[in-house]
Amino acid sequence: MVFKKKDLLGIRDLENEEIQYILELGESFREVSARYIKKVPTLRGKTVVNLFIEPSTRTRTSFELAAKRLSADVVNISAKNSSLVKGESLKDTAKTIDALGADAVIMRHPSAGATYFFAKNIKASVINAGDGAHEHPTQALLDLYTIKEKFGRIDGLHVGIVGDVTHSRVARSNILALTKMGAKVTLVAPPTLIPVKIEAMGVEVTYNLDEIIGEFDVVYVLRIQLERQTESLFPSIREYANLYGLNLDRLKKAKKDVLIMHPGPINRGIEISSEVADIPQAVITEQVRNGVAIRMAVLYVLLGGAEVEKVANQKR
């Protein structure tokens, strides 16, 4: 496997075999995370910058742990304590971080495509940790890993993504990742939360969860952002929960071994009921755990990555 890319900006840019490779590496890093000493010296001396222009606790922490378990030095920059609030342009931020000698920048930004802009202006590897409604590739990779762990495959599974697809980078990355790996994807949401021409991404769209839930192997529930209500995208949280919330009643119509996923943080009682969030088929915490391993794998391929093939038994 040759991984030549400088950055990981989106699932869109990944070949199938690259996805496969990262998932396989994830397995090795899961093993590292299970050890007594959860740390390997792989990226010793490398500097990883967590640049979070949009607040996030779980993704930032997950990346920080991943980098630290690989022995990299980690610096956190968030919007609050950066000069970005003083009006420094993103281009100057890139130049500054470059000058400081960072090897990788993990970046979250509220604006779609900001990571592309940033990557063009910096020598370091850029990992997209979520840019606007564009992509969140490591989330999709950890979701693939979690699904594969449970079913042993992705190909041929039917995954239902339920919720606000329009504003969701998680949905976009997962649609790309799941369809690339051969899963069937159906989006379930009110039409106001389904972006135009999304069918061209190779998915089906339906508005009625009750009618289709029995066909899903995986129900992927998206977080509903409460402020969307004021944008006339749905009349009320109550009505949304009634139509699309995943509760025990609705779950009775689903397959017995259906897997329930959510990128977190969950709104209990809105898109998913408290009872459902806590049943064993809901693998929300396993997603979090797998996230560290997958992010270690991503850092590894970008910063330590195997490039030149060596004769296997000719170890130096």
Partner 1 sequence: MKKLLIKNGRVIDPANNLDETLDILVEKGKIVVLNKNLNSDGAKIIDAREKIVTPGLIDMHVHLREPGREDEETIESGCKAAAMGGFTSIACMPNTSPVNDNSAVTEMIIEKAKEANLVNVYPVAAITKGLQGKELTEMAELIDSGAAAFTDDGKCVQNSEVMRRALEYSKIFDVSLISHAECSELSQKGHINEGYYSTILGLKGIPSAAEEVSIARDIILAELTNTRVHFTHVSTEGSLRMIKEAKERGLKITCDVTPHHLVLTDEALLEYDTNFKVNPPLRGETDVNALHKGLSEGVIDAIVSDHAPHAVHEKDVEFALAAFGIIGLETTLPLMLTKIVGEGILKLPELIKKLTIAPAKILNTNKGNLSVGNNADVTIFNTKTKVRVDSNKFLSKSRNTPFNGWELNGVIDYLIVGGKMIVEDEKLVNRA
Partner 2 sequence: MNEMKFKKKKLIMDEAMIKRVLKRIAHEVVEKNKGAEKVVLVGIRSRGIYLAERLTKYIEEIEKISVPVGVLDVSFYRDDVANRIIPHRVSKTEIPFDVSGKNILLVDDVLFTGRTVRAALDAVMDFGRPASIQLAVLVDRGHRELPIRADFVGKNIPTSQKERVWVNLKEEDGVDSVDICEDID
Which 194-213 positions form the footprint of partner 1 (CB under 8 A)? 195-198, 200-201
Taking contact as CB under 8 A, which single stretch among the options 77-85, 240-248, 284-292, 297-305 is the one that binds partner 2? 297-305
Give dist(CA 7, CA 26) in Å, integer.
18
Task: Indicate which residue of 60, 108, 180, 223 is catalytic.
Answer: 108
Tell whether residue 311 is a contact of partner 2 (CB under 8 A): yes
Residue 39 contact partner, candidates partner 1, partner 2, none, CB within 5 to 8 A by sort of partner: partner 2
Which of 99, 196, 200, 312 contacts partner 2 by CB under 8 A?
312
User: Residue 272 interacts with partner 2 (CB under 8 A)?
Assistant: no
When CB distances are held under 5 to 8 angstroms depending on the partner's kind, the choice from partner 1, partner 2, none that residue 300 binds is partner 2
Spatial neighbors of 53 by CB under 8 A, at least 6 apart, are: 78, 79, 82, 84, 107, 108, 109, 110, 114
* H helices present in the chain, as ranges: 16-33, 58-69, 90-99, 114-120, 137-151, 169-180, 209-212, 237-244, 248-251, 274-277, 284-299
12 catalytic per annotation: no
- The interface region with partner 2, picked from 40-48, 106-114, 240-248, 270-278 by CB under 8 A, is 40-48
For helices 137-151 and 58-69, give the axis angle rounded to 10 degrees.
Answer: 80
Stretch that binds partner 1, among 133-141, 148-156, 221-229, 270-278 (CB under 8 A): 133-141
Cα(287)–Cα(294) distance, rounded to whole angstroms?
A: 10
Side chain identity at 252, as an amino acid letter?
K
Q: Would you give the distance in Å from CA 58 to the centre of its chain?
A: 11
Question: Where on the chain is the footprint of partner 2 (CB under 8 A)?
Answer: 1-2, 24-25, 27-28, 31-32, 35-37, 39-43, 45-46, 70, 300, 304-316
